Amino acid sequence: MPNRNLASIPYLRTAEVADILRVTKRTLKNWLQKEFIAEPQRNPSNGYRQWTLEDIEAVRRLLQERDGAK
């Protein structure tokens, strides 16, 4: 897969976000289901999650806070 400039991509897929965060797609979906992380906006035409770089940074902050509490 070619290395893409993430800043030029308006939305990322769940699998791409999982790769960026170095977790599995299933883990990410479990966090969403348990409301550990906020649900991103969804595409109104197909219902797919539309992750932004801001969404990813919010998840990173939550993970850092969680890991810092240990």
Q: Quick: pLDDT tens for 6-54.
A: 555 689 999 999 999 999 999 999 999 999 999 999 999 999 999 999 9
Q: Is residue 40 part of a domain?
A: yes
37: containing domain: 10-68
H helices of the chain, where? 14-21, 25-33, 53-68
Token pair recorded at residue 49: 């999650």
Q: Is residue 31 part of a domain?
A: yes
Q: Is residue 34 part of a domain?
A: yes
pTM value is: 0.78
Number of domains in the chain: 1
Q: Is residue 33 part of a domain?
A: yes
> What is the length of the chain?
70
Q: Is residue 57 part of a domain?
A: yes
Q: Is residue 27 part of a domain?
A: yes
Q: Is residue 44 part of a domain?
A: yes
For residue 26, what is the domain's CATH number? 1.10.1660.10
